[in-house]
Structures are given as C-alpha cells and as structure tokens.
Homo-oligomer: A and B are copies of this chain.
Amino acid sequence: MRLNQLRLGKPMEKKKILVLGGGFGGVFAAKALERLGRGQVEVELVNNNNYFVFQPLLPEVAASTINSADAVVPLRQLLRNVQVRQARVMGIDFAKKTVVVMQGARLTPVNLEYDELIIALGTGVDLARIPGMADHALTMKDLTDAHRLRTHVIGCLETADVTTEAVVKKQLLTFVVVGAGFSGVETVAEVHELVRSALKYYPNIKPDEIRMYLIEYAPRILPTFPADLAEYATKQMQSTGIEVLTGVGTKSATSTGVALTDGRTINTSTIVATIGNGPHPLVSTLGLDLHWARIKTDRYMRVPGKEHVWALGDAALIPLVDNPQEDPADYATQTAQFAVREGYQLAANIMAKLSGKELKPFAYTSKGSLASLGMSKAVADVYGVKLSGFVAWLLWRGFYLSFLPGFTAKFRVGLNWLLNSVMPPNIVQLRMPPPATRYIHYWKGDKVFEPGMLIDGFYTVINGRFKLTIDNPDTGEHFEKVFGPGEHFGERVLVRSELRTGLVEALEDGLLLFIAQKDFTRFAKAFPFLDNYFKDYIERTFGGADKAFAPGSTNPPELAKTP
C-alpha cells in the first residue's frame, strides 16, 4: 500500500474502493476503475481464487476441448493496478465500513476498510429442494466443477470398458444433465462429444451402449431463445443421440440414479445439475433486501439504505425501468454481456459520485444470445437475426474469443480450438481424492455393498433402515441385523482391511454418512474413547459371526474370473 501511495502521491485524498468477487461484474468494474480513477482511487479486489473464470467456456473444459488453465486468467495479470487479495469474505460491517476476510493456509482473519464497496459475489447453488441432488449431482459453477465432471466421465468409461457386470456398465454409460438453459445445453453437448470421440479407445464399449439425457422442467429448452431456434437445437441434439426430455422435473437423486416427476427412474452414475440458482451463501446473511435471490439495487446499482454499497452482476437485481414489475424483462439479465456493461457503468457512477457529478442509470439491451450444440453446430439470435448450424457455431467461437480478457487467454484458447480439431481427444484422467466424509442417499432395495467388495469405509445411518445379511456358503450359517438412525456398520475396517463378507441393503429410502477407511481409522485409533467403544462393539456384535465368516487368505481372494 505505502509503495502505491508514494508512487501516486496525494495519499490522503485517495478513496479506497473494495470489490468483492472476481467474476465478470467485479473484474470489469475494477478494470474500469483502474482507468477512470487512476490516482484518485485505490482499488482492491477480493476473490476466493486467484483467477477469473470465463464461465461460458466451462463446458469446453469439462470436455477438454480446451485446457483448464486456458478458461481462466490470473486476476493479477488482468488487473495490474489493483491490489488482488486471494481470501474468503466472512462478513461485512456496513456501519463500520469494514469487511472481514480469512486469508492464507491458516485462515487468518483480516479487516479491510472501504470508502465504497462493490458486491459482485455472483450466485450460489441451492439444490436442497430435490432430495439427494446436492449430495449426488455434479454442478457447473466453477473450474473445479468442470474438472471434476471431466474426470468423472472418463472414469466411467475406464470402468465400463473392463467391468463384467451388465447393470453396472449400463449405469456407467448413462449420463444425465438436469436443466436446459445455456449451461445445461452446452454441457450435455460437450460431454456427448467427449464420450463419442473417446470411444474408439475403449474397445469393449459400443456406441449404442451410451445414453445421454437432457432434462428440462419447462415445456421447451433454452427458454431465453426464440421458439424456432430452441426447436432447431432440440432436433440437432436428438440427431446426435441425446434424448431431450422436456416438461419433466427431477424428484430425487441417489448414487445410482435420478427419479423423475413423471414416475420414471433413470439409472446413472452421472447427474449434472445446472439448475437451482440460489443466493451466494454470504449474500443471504447480509440482511439485504433480496428478490429472486438477488440483491435489490436502484437503477444506479446502489443498494438502497446502504450508503457506499453497490452491487452488480448475477448477485444484483438491477431494474432497467423506473417502475419494474414482477417481469424479468424489467431487470438486467444474468449474463456476462450485461455484467460487463454494468461494470463500466458502476465504475463511472462511483467516479461521478466522488467528484460530485450526476450518476447515470444502467441501460443496456442484449445484443443477442448464442448457444453451442457441439459437433460444430450452434444456435444464435444476434441483433434479431437468427442463425443456426456451423455459421452460428463460428460466430459463437468468435464472439467468446473476442470477449476473453487478455491477449494470452485469447491466443491460448484459439490455439486449443485449432489443435483439438486435429488432435486425438485428451482422455487423461487427473483424479482428485474423493472427500473423506460423504452423504449417500439410497432408495428402497438399493445395495450399499456386497460380499467380495473391498472394505473401504464406515457407515452411520442418518435416516431409514438398512439390513445386513451375512451368509456362509460353507457352514450354511446365517447372520442378520437391521440398522436404524444413529446406528452404524462397516466398523470392522478397524480390525482388518479385507473384503466385505456381508450384503447391506436399504429396507426403505434412507441416508447414510460414509467415512473413508483411512480417515475413520486415523480418528478412531487416535481417540482412545472411540477406539475402546468400537473394540467392545465389534466383539459384542460380531464376535461369533466374525470368526465364523472371516475369509481365509484373501490375497488373492477367490473371485469371479474376467472373460
């Protein structure tokens, strides 16, 4: 800070402008302030990641049409005269004009003061309405999501290629995308392309074994598009083998499938949810006036009742007219196109305010919409002109390329597009470690595990009833136990790590908390109180059964041969 002040002089007069969030809104507001406010203001931008994510390209990252690193731009390279702080925003004190952030590996809290505050935190995902969705669906909000989806899809192909269980294979080769807005349509299209192009490397998977679903609750896909373009998009996707289900929603999700509102169930290992936009977790705690999960602002993007506080981008509900009705058309839409213009206008308004000039209301009319359909096809509605097919697709790419901030990013993405049209698909699976604890939802009759599977963790019943059955083929002995809420199974992971000897099934719809073997064992062993509890429990519960059913040498165990 001191350095800047010396360099730029007049430190006392400088106003501190704090930007929360590094998406389109926050970044373009900060860029504009760099330009308009040079020497008069000091700008700091706080973001959880040290990079800006080019949201529209996430589906391409998921399909590895472009590299992860190329859909993002380091904020520090984008904003050379802005103090960039990688930190998590914890709270705002509007009275004291301070923001608390946690930074660093040790999460040290720091207080940041501001003269003017810009809230550009975007939205969050809220899938709570649909049981199991939050725990089993992949989302497409940030780079990690895209990376995770890609890793997951390739993992499905790897296993499907070598599994001998027909049911498992079918489930692995079925992919479901929920929600048919831009994100949903482009995601299903890109994933489909990835799978199709990868198949030639998976000799045991036939193309007709792939199932790809796009599920939309509304009567048609791409609601913001003209009906005929949406129609074209539907036909185009169907022609490539994507099943488009409209007018149907999702009722519940588990690790083995998704249940639809029309009573159907689709067995799948892959659910991508592009629905459920909710407020950003922090935004919902600020006591601000929210509508449609967005912060209400006036036409100048000021937050009413909070002097010195502004909001823009997806996080804000910015009226385009003086007396907005309950009609989305009366407000700025949640697109990059709008966020960028909002950023410019907000920066201008802040500078106007500081120099006592008059603020201008935000006004902008969309130049149109574009959606990629994969297979070098797209739909476009630009300046009222409707385009579809290859031309629209070229337009789509050109538009986003021109939109990418920074030459480096433009160049790299363009290059990637070129390369990937001639190169074999990138099917490298860079795996991420699975979470140590996870909630797993089950439908009545679902199997939790079967004899022969590797003991991989410990289960606690949150709700529902689960039945363990152990049968010893040799002795004919039979052991049964039903577990309810608060009870647990799989604890024998503590005494030995071998293969499951029992079968556990859900007697009704239920929820389990799974704790991975390594973490569970570390905890139990380090915590005598717990270790003793389990020692007793295992002796009491399985003492007999355990001895009776303990498999002999399981190295290697006797298992079904592969063909």
Query: Which of A69, A452, A523 is most buried by chain B, counting CB atoms within 10 A of its CB?
Result: A523
Q: Indicate if the CB atoms of A103 and B159 lie closer than 8 Å.
A: yes
- CA of A151 to CA of B354, assembled, Å: 40
Interface CB pairs A-B, < 8 A, 17: A51-B428, A51-B429, A73-B428, A86-B162, A100-B556, A103-B159, A107-B454, A109-B453, A111-B562, A412-B419, A435-B436, A436-B436, A439-B522, A460-B527, A486-B526, A486-B528, A523-B523
Q: Does A72 contact B (CB under 8 A)?
A: yes
Query: What would 16 more interface pairs be, CB under 8 Å, given A49-B429, A50-B428?
Result: A1-B562, A2-B563, A49-B431, A50-B154, A67-B67, A68-B430, A69-B426, A69-B428, A83-B203, A85-B162, A412-B419, A432-B433, A436-B437, A436-B519, A437-B518, A515-B523
Interface-located stretch among A89-97, A124-132, A182-190, A540-548: A89-97
**Bound complex: CA of A50 vs CA of B430, how far in Å?**
9
A390 nearest CB across to chain B (Å)? 26
Interface range on chain A: under 10, 10 to 19, 20 to 34, or 35 or more?
35 or more
Residue in contact with A100 in the complex, picked from B109, B432, B555, CB distance below 8 Å? B555
Residue of B nearest to A64 (CB): B69
Asked whether, in the complex, the Cβ of A50 is within 8 Å of the Cβ of B435, the reply is no
Least distance between A433 CB and chain B CB atoms (Å): 7
Residues of A at the B interface (CB closer than 8 Å) are 1-4, 49-51, 64, 67-69, 72-74, 76-77, 83, 85-87, 90-93, 96, 98-100, 102-113, 143-144, 147, 154-155, 158-159, 162-165, 168, 201-204, 269, 285, 408, 411-412, 415, 419, 423-424, 426-433, 435-437, 439, 449, 452-454, 456, 460, 462, 486, 488, 499, 513, 515-516, 518-519, 522-523, 526-530, 533, 555-563
Looking across the interface, which residue of chain B has its beta carbon closest to that of A423? B408
CA distance A96 to B439 in the complex (A): 40
Minimum CB–CB distance from A201 to chain B (whole Å) comes to 4
Which residue of B is nearest A488, CB measured?
A: B527
Q: How far is the CA of A102 from the CA of B436 in the complex (A)?
A: 19
CB of A92 within 8 A of CB of B556, answer yes
Q: How many copies of this protein are present in the complex? A: 2
Report yes or no: B428 in contact with A106, Cβ–Cβ below 8 A.
no
Residue of B nearest to A98 (CB): B556
Residue of A113, A412, A527 contacting most chain B CB atoms (<10 Å): A527
CA distance A428 to B85 in the complex (A): 14
A428 & B555 in contact (Cβ 8 Å cutoff): no
Contact between chains at B452 and A109 (CB < 8 Å):
yes
Task: Please give me the residue from chain B that is nearest to A458 by CB atom.
Answer: B523
Say how far A15's CB is from chain B's closest CB, in angstroms.
16
CB-contact partner of A437 in B423, B431, B486, B523, under 8 A = B523
Determine the chain B residues whose CB is within 8 A of the CB of A51 once the complex forms: 428-429
Report Cα–Cα, A151/B433, bound state, in Å: 15
Contacts of A168 in B (CB 8 A): 104, 106, 108
Give Cα A108 to B147, complex, Å: 25
B426 x A159 contact (CB < 8 A): no
- How close is A466's CB to chain B, nearest CB, in angstroms? 14
Q: In the bound complex, what is the Cα–Cα distance between A3 and B560 (angstroms)? A: 20
- Which of A83, A106, A430, A528 is most buried by chain B, counting CB atoms within 10 A of its CB? A106
Tell me if A526 and B428 are in contact (CB < 8 A). Answer: no
Q: A454 touches which one: B109, B528, B559 (CB < 8 A)?
A: B109
Shortest Cβ gap from A436 to chain B (Å): 3
- Given A107-B454, A556-B92, A556-B99, A76-B201 contact (CB < 8 Å): yes
Task: Give, as a whole number of angstroms, the nearest-CB distance from A83 to chain B.
Answer: 7
- If A102-B454, A105-B155, A529-B533 touch, whether A86 touches B429 (CB-CB below 8 Å) is yes
Instruction: Tell me the complex Cα distance, A513–B531, Å.
Output: 15
B107 near A456 (CB under 8 angstroms)? yes
Chain B positions within 8 Å of A558 at CB level: 111
Q: From residue A111, how far is it (CB to closest CB) to chain B in Å?
A: 5
The interface residues of chain B lying within 8 Å CB-to-CB of A419 are 412, 415
Q: Is the CB of B453 within 8 A of A107?
A: yes
Pairwise interchain contact B100-A462, C-beta atoms closer than 8 A: no
Q: A77-B201, A99-B556, A109-B559 are in contact. Are A530 and B530 (CB under 8 A)?
A: yes
Nearest CB of B to A208, in Å = 15
A513–B456 CA distance with the chains assembled, in angstroms = 21
List of B residues within 8 angstroms of A557 by Cβ = 100, 109
Of the candidates A108, A285, A411, A563, the one having the most CB atoms from chain B within 10 angstroms of its own CB is A108
Q: A452 to B144: give the CA distance in the assembly, Å.
A: 30
User: How distant is the Cα of A527 from the Cα of B453 in the complex, in angstroms?
Assistant: 24
